[in-house]
Amino acid sequence: MRTKRTKIYSLVLAFLICLTTVFTNTDTIQAAQKEYDILLEEEGTAVANTELSYDFTVDTNTNISLYFYVPDVLNCDVSIYDSAGDLYGDSVIYSTDWYWYEDAGLYCYGLTCDNMPSGDYNVTLMFDTDSQFLFDIDAEKILATISDKSATLSVGFTKKLKVDNTSESVTWSSSKASVATVNSKGVVTAKKAGTTTITAKTKSGQKLTCKITVKANTYKETKMTTSDLYYGNCGLQVYSSSYATNGDLVLKCRFVNYSGYKVTELKNVKITFKTDAGKTIGTYSTKSMKMSVSHGSTKDFTLTIKKANLKNKKADLRNATYSSSGKFQYSYYY
């Protein structure tokens, strides 16, 4: 009978039946995706109306499953007792409850106990006829999880990863430390643009990974054209922004003229950059900016907010936002 155990084990997972308040239903799809530890594995020949007794231990609060395999249908009493000898739960498997699998050549049945407390237990079986049998008790593994499967960081910024559902020690590593490093507490520090995989390994050997993508700490958007404006309007855009080596914030700007006139000057210009949390990084303002931009044309230029005037000298520009305002002065031409 032992040679058939592996084949029928996978089949019986689909048939875990609710019989009492202790033994409960299990979703068949979830059951196929979960991992289990074997708490007890027995086989032999049962004598009719003679009790069989087995001890087992549940290490952590979890769901357990009891699996039975017999060559012919029969009735079977099942009882579980806690370490104090008190009845934890019982059930009866009737001859009409078993499921037959042609390929396995055995009848199969399964019971589950949801949220079983950790501790020592004893299970008794009593068949009403002589029979060979296989009997297993499996505990659902509580697998550790990682807080993020993927994340994108700007160069110079950090993100803390966490491993939940485990009390084990965890070791951290990065597949490409030149892109991002990780310390013993799971704090990832972005170093340069690229990708790396952060791996958390539990003491028991479970590996959890997070793909980290690192991008330059630069604000960027597609350059504006006249097709982005209604006729009669102009637009002032910051299409790129980054910190200079001296700490100044450099704004690469574009003015788009679709007014129908030649623009000769911008007045009361104000550009304010803010973090994704809404806090001001810095503001550029001027009362007058001379320029000459014909209708249907654009002009690119660079503005600088000095480091001394910045309210945030190390902001995540990649996730920043900005607002711009001002007026334009134009002249008629034909």
Query: What's the CATH number where 126 sits?
Result: 2.60.120.380
User: pLDDT value at position 30?
Assistant: 32
Residue in 228, 298, 227, 292 with CA at minimum distance from that of residue 256: 298
Residues 133 and 162 in one domain: no
User: pLDDT value at position 204?
Assistant: 84
Count of alpha carbons within 13 Å of 76, Cβ hemisphere only? Answer: 32
Query: What's the CATH number where 192 sits?
Result: 2.60.40.1080
Confidence of residue 6 (pLDDT cuts 50, 70, 90): very low
Host domain of residue 285? 219-331
Give the rounded percent of residues in the chain with a pLDDT score beyond 70.
89
Provide the number of structural domains found in the chain. Answer: 3
User: pLDDT value at position 167?
Assistant: 84
- C-beta separation of 16 from 110 below 8 A: yes
Q: Which of 113, 140, 167 is the last residue of a domain?
A: 140
Residues 84 and 179 in one domain: no
**Across residues 274-283, what is the average pLDDT?**
97
Indicate whether 13 pLDDT > 80: no
- The rounded mean pLDDT for the chain is 88
Cα separation, 98 vs 68, in Å, equals 9
Q: Which of 123, 140, 157 is the last residue of a domain?
A: 140
Confidence of residue 195 (pLDDT cuts 50, 70, 90): very high
Indicate whether 262 pLDDT > 50: yes
Residues 150 and 238 in one domain: no
pLDDT tens string 25-47:
333 323 333 578 899 999 999 99
More confident residue, 245 or 37: 245
Residues 170 and 187 in one domain: yes
Cα separation, 38 vs 23, in Å, equals 18
pLDDT tens string 136-161:
999 988 788 999 999 999 999 999 99
pLDDT tens string 59-115:
888 899 999 999 999 999 999 999 999 999 999 999 999 999 777 789 999 999 988
Residue type, 286: T
Cα separation, 133 vs 109, in Å, equals 12
Residues 14 and 51 in one domain: yes
Residues 161 and 130 in one domain: no
